[in-house]
């Protein structure tokens, strides 16, 4: 009688992330790691598919940085508590490993945290899709290192970078900050602070002006034409006139005045912001940083705020940028914001169908309504 094969469950993403973390610790100079005989001591980790946490880690001990593991909306802990599965044992020294929300089956990404006082470190790891092609994390980190002292908010210092060859993954060690995600009661204030602080960074680092790239313009026009002429059900807010909006959009995208270019974080919405214990704001997750239309960053802040339409109605050219805008004969600021929003909307179809696949259509429709309403508010004056 043939033996029945016992199916072996593949390790969860959290357990894979933990194994990669242990290997990177051995290669790294800046991560805490077990030395001497302690190397042979293995530690237990509780885990589910997304999180692995050292069994000895006490999130209630108020360690610097442990506020990151609290859901800002509910106050609930994000860490695995009940050990429904047997713990895994590894030689890692890490406290908490969190698999990234944007990971896919082909590309694991995660962030690990070391919170012991004096050695607060965060390790971020992104797997490459092709061995020879670095992930965006590499270029983003290079820009991040140039920012120390150039921004009015806190940017984590980079301590070490490397490549995990066996798994084809780029990794970066940075300082772990002592903060927590922005809670709902603080969201409006934090968004306002960011909108005031980002232009200070652009001014310090310098801006230039350039016309909208013709390919980008063409893509934005085609995407918006599809949206205005034949939107999927429920995507377009009922009270907004589609034809009139399409006319205004065409007029805007044919505005030849130059746009303000500078160092953009890429996604400085509240999801990538920490409120630090000393009250300052920190901006994390610089993987999408690059030189582009800076209005893009304001749009991202706006869309992450509790009431984007109301906030959009109040926005005006930042005082620190006004001389540069005037000297360059730049497009008026609110039109720049509307243009950046239209460039972002160029990807609406992909995002919509991804949402359909993930069964998150309602949230996606809500986001589209907000984007279109903000667009019309920006164009209203």
Ligand X SMILES: Nc1ncnc2c1ncn2[C@@H]1O[C@H](COP(=O)(O)OP(=O)(O)O)[C@@H](O)[C@H]1O
Binding region for ligand X (CB under 6 A): 65, 68, 100-102, 109, 111, 122, 124, 156, 174, 176-177, 181, 271-272, 274, 284-285
Return the number of the residue (272 or 364) whose C-beta is nearest Mg ion: 272
Return the number of the residue (266 or 318) whose C-beta is nearest ligand X: 266
Per partner kind, with CB cut-offs from 5 to 8 A, the member of Mg ion, ligand X, none near residue 102 is: ligand X
**What does the binding site for Mg ion look like in residue numbers (CB under 5 A)?**
272, 285
Per partner kind, with CB cut-offs from 5 to 8 A, the member of ligand X, Mg ion, none near residue 100 is: ligand X
CB of 120 to ligand X, least distance (A): 8
Per partner kind, with CB cut-offs from 5 to 8 A, the member of ligand X, Mg ion, none near residue 101 is: ligand X
CB of 56 to ligand X, least distance (A): 20
Per partner kind, with CB cut-offs from 5 to 8 A, the member of Mg ion, ligand X, none near residue 266 is: none
Per partner kind, with CB cut-offs from 5 to 8 A, the member of Mg ion, ligand X, none near residue 305 is: none
CB of 70 to ligand X, least distance (A): 10
Residue 125: which H helix or E strand, with range?
A: strand 121-127
How deeply is 32 buried, as exposed, middle or buried, from its count of CB atoms within 10 A (0-12, 13-18, 19+)?
middle
What's the CA gap between 54 and 91, in Å, rounded?
11
Q: In Å, what is the CA distance from 55 to each residue of 13, 26, 30, 123, 271?
A: 18, 21, 23, 19, 28
Question: Going by C-beta distance under 8 Å and a sequence separation of 6 or more, which residues neighbour residue 167?
Answer: 20, 23, 108, 127
Return the number of the residue (122 or 135) whose C-beta is nearest ligand X: 122
Per partner kind, with CB cut-offs from 5 to 8 A, the member of ligand X, Mg ion, none near residue 122 is: ligand X
Q: Which residue is nearest to Mg ion (CB)?
A: 285
Return the number of the residue (172 or 298) whose C-beta is nearest ligand X: 172
Per partner kind, with CB cut-offs from 5 to 8 A, the member of Mg ion, ligand X, none near residue 156 is: ligand X
Nearest to 53 by CA among 113, 133, 131, 120: 113
- Residue 39 has a CB neighbour count (10 Å cut-off) of 12
What's the CA gap between 102 and 360, in Å, rounded?
15
Question: Going by C-beta distance under 8 Å and a sequence separation of 6 or more, which residues neighbour residue 225?
Answer: 246
Per partner kind, with CB cut-offs from 5 to 8 A, the member of ligand X, Mg ion, none near residue 174 is: ligand X
Q: Which residue is nearest to ligand X (CB)?
A: 285
Return the number of the residue (48 or 285) whose C-beta is nearest ligand X: 285
CB of 68 to ligand X, least distance (A): 5
CB of 20 to ligand X, least distance (A): 15
Return the number of the residue (116 or 363) whose C-beta is nearest Mg ion: 363
Local structure of residue 131 (DSSP, 8 states) = T
CB of 35 to ligand X, least distance (A): 24
User: Which two tokens mark 133?
Assistant: 């092609």
Is 261:291 a contact under the CB 8 Å cutoff? Answer: yes
Is 96:51 a contact under the CB 8 Å cutoff? Answer: yes
Residue 297: which H helix or E strand, with range?
A: helix 295-304
CB of 91 to ligand X, least distance (A): 24
Return the number of the residue (264 or 336) whose C-beta is nearest Mg ion: 264
Return the number of the residue (260 or 272) whose C-beta is nearest ligand X: 272
CB of 14 to Mg ion, least distance (A): 18
Q: Crossing angle for the helix pair 242-253 and 333-345, nearest 10 degrees? A: 110
User: Which two tokens mark 217?
Assistant: 């313009």
What's the CA gap between 151 and 272, in Å, rounded?
15
Return the number of the residue (122 or 207) whose C-beta is nearest ligand X: 122
Helix (H, G, I), strand (E, B) or coil at 30: coil
What's the CA gap between 60 and 322, in Å, rounded?
47
CB of 163 to ligand X, least distance (A): 18
Is 179:274 a contact under the CB 8 Å cutoff? Answer: yes
């Amino acid at each position: 009688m043939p033996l029945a094969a016992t199916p072996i469950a593949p390790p969860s993403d959290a357990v894979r992330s933990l194994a990669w973390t242990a290997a990177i610790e051995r290669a790294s100079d800046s991560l805490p790691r077990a030395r001497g005989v302690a190397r042979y001591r293995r530690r237990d980790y509780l885990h589910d598919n997304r999180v692995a946490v050292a069994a000895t880690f006490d999130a209630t001990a108020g360690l610097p940085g442990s506020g990151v593991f609290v859901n800002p909306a509910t106050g609930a802990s994000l860490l695995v508590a009940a050990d429904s599965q047997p713990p895994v044992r590894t030689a890692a020294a890490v406290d908490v490993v969190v698999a990234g929300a944007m990971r896919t089956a082909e590309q694991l990404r995660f962030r690990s945290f070391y919170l012991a006082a004096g050695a607060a470190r965060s390790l971020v790891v992104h797997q490459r899709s092709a061995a020879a092609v670095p992930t965006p994390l590499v270029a983003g980190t290079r820009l991040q290192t140039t920012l120390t002292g150039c921004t009015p908010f806190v940017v984590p210092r980079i301590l070490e970078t490397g490549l995990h060859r066996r798994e084809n993954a780029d990794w970066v060690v940075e300082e772990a900050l002592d903060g927590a995600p922005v809670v709902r009661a603080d969201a409006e204030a934090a968004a306002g602070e960011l909108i005031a602080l980002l232009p200070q960074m652009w001014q310090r680092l310098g801006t230039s002006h350039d016309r909208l790239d013709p390919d980008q313009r063409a893509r934005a026009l085609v995407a918006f034409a599809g949206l205005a002429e034949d939107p999927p059900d429920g995507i377009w807010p009922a009270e907004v006139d589609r034809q009139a909006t399409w006319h205004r959009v065409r007029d805007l995208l044919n505005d030849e005045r130059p746009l303000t270019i500078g160092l953009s974080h890429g996604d400085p919405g509240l999801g990538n912001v920490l409120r630090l214990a000393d009250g300052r704001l920190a901006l994390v997750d610089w993987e999408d940083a690059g030189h582009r239309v800076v209005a893009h960053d304001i749009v991202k802040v706006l869309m992450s705020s509790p009431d984007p339409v109301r906030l959009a109605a109040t926005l005006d050219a930042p005082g620190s940028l006004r001389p540069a805008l005037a000297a360059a004969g730049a497009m008026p600021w609110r039109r720049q914001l509307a243009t950046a929003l239209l460039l972002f909307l160029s990807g609406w179809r992909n995002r919509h169908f991804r949402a359909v696949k993930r069964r998150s259509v309602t949230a996606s429709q809500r986001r589209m309504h907000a984007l279109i309403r903000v667009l019309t508010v920006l164009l209203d004056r």
